Amino acid sequence: MTTFGFIGTGHMGSMLVRKFIETGAISANEITVSNRTREKADQLAANLGVGCKDNRDVVRLSDVVFLCIRPREVRDVLMELHDLLTPEKLLVSVAGDISLKNLYSQCSARVARAFPSMASESLMGVTLLALGDNVTETDKATIMSIFGALGHPVEVKEDHFEVLADLTSCGPGYIAALMQEFALAASWRGIPRNVTEELVKETLAGTARLMESENFGDLIACVATKGGITEEGVKVIREDAPQMFNRLFQATKEKHNAVKKLIADQSMKE
């Protein structure tokens, strides 16, 4: 039996534990969790029937350890666990901006990065994966299989992680923000906001279903018939959106750089 530990039961850690159990990817009796605020982990354990321990015991009890804490917290936790994260353990970090190189330098476990999406809540969406050189074929099969239960795991070049995470992991937030603005602009035309938001939500859900079998171009061509109304709207989007999305990628890159600087400064202080 492979055993799994989760350090950090915040938004992502608790979602992963809950969904892995719900889908049957991992059994509750194979899981142990820990969290800085112990009551939060106790609550999750009581609800899902998993074990609850401190960080060190989670590592002792687990073959695969998921690190579900914020990037700035990683260094201290890895220092706390350094002697226990041996080559017999597989460490899967979901922390953004903590590179495989960072992980190698702080422990001797086999290491991988996973960047899931809150879309996994509905068992859809993408989990980005970057696997360390010391990961075995069995590790890869385990990681693919459990994240496969929550949607679509995709192994990518680690260099592409940040930009792709904008698409896959931040994506649900961006799409929601964009659709909220779409509904808001309609409500400026005298229609109550709750009505416009509800209609946009329904349309978004229907479009997502259509996208399962259509590509973007075909769907646009299907709706935006030549000389019609939609064609005018699509023209506006094509004029204005490139600049907006370019700014979005620039803004998130700056934020990534700031977090990476903070992480580098932490290691300088060691």
Ligand X SMILES: NC(=O)c1ccc[n+]([C@@H]2O[C@H](COP(=O)([O-])OP(=O)(O)OC[C@H]3O[C@@H](n4cnc5c(N)ncnc54)[C@H](OP(=O)(O)O)[C@@H]3O)[C@@H](O)[C@H]2O)c1
Interacting residue ranges for ligand X, rule: CB under 6 A: 7-13, 34-37, 40, 55, 68-71, 73, 77, 94-96, 115-116, 118, 169
Query: Which lies closer to ligand X via its Cβ, residue 13 or residue 151?
Result: 13
With b for 16 or more beta-carbon neighbours within 10 A and e for fewer, the 212-229 pattern comes to eeeeeeeeeeeebeeeee
Q: How far is the CB of 11 from ligand X (least distance, A)?
A: 4
Kindly state the DSSP code that residue 118 receives in the 8-state scheme. G
Q: How far is the CB of 121 from ligand X (least distance, A)?
A: 10
Q: How far is the CB of 112 from ligand X (least distance, A)?
A: 14
Query: Which lies closer to ligand X via its Cβ, residue 73 or residue 214?
Result: 73
Q: How far is the CB of 239 from ligand X (least distance, A)?
A: 31
Residue in the shown chain whose Cβ atom is closest to ligand X: 10
Identity at 4, one-letter amino acid code: F
Closest CA to 256 of 173, 116, 161, 175: 161
Q: How far is the CB of 137 from ligand X (least distance, A)?
A: 25
CA–CA dist 141, 139 (Å, integer): 5
Rounded to the nearest angstrom, the gap between the alpha carbon of residue 32 and the centroid of all alpha carbons in its chain is 21
Neighbours of 1 (CB within 10 A): 6
Query: Which lies closer to ligand X via its Cβ, residue 74 or residue 196?
Result: 74
Q: How far is the CB of 93 from ligand X (least distance, A)?
A: 8
Length of the chain: 270
CA–CA dist 111, 101 (Å, integer): 9
Q: How far is the CB of 191 from ligand X (least distance, A)?
A: 32
Query: Which lies closer to ligand X via its Cβ, residue 126 or residue 196?
Result: 126
Query: Which lies closer to ligand X via its Cβ, residue 51 or residue 96?
Result: 96
Closest CA to 93 of 106, 73, 111, 107: 111
Token pair 């992480």 is found at 263
Query: Which lies closer to ligand X via its Cβ, residue 62 or residue 169?
Result: 169
Closest CA to 68 of 127, 126, 22: 127
Query: Which lies closer to ligand X via its Cβ, residue 38 or residue 193?
Result: 38
Kindly state the DSSP code that residue 122 receives in the 8-state scheme. G
CA–CA dist 67, 198 (Å, integer): 37
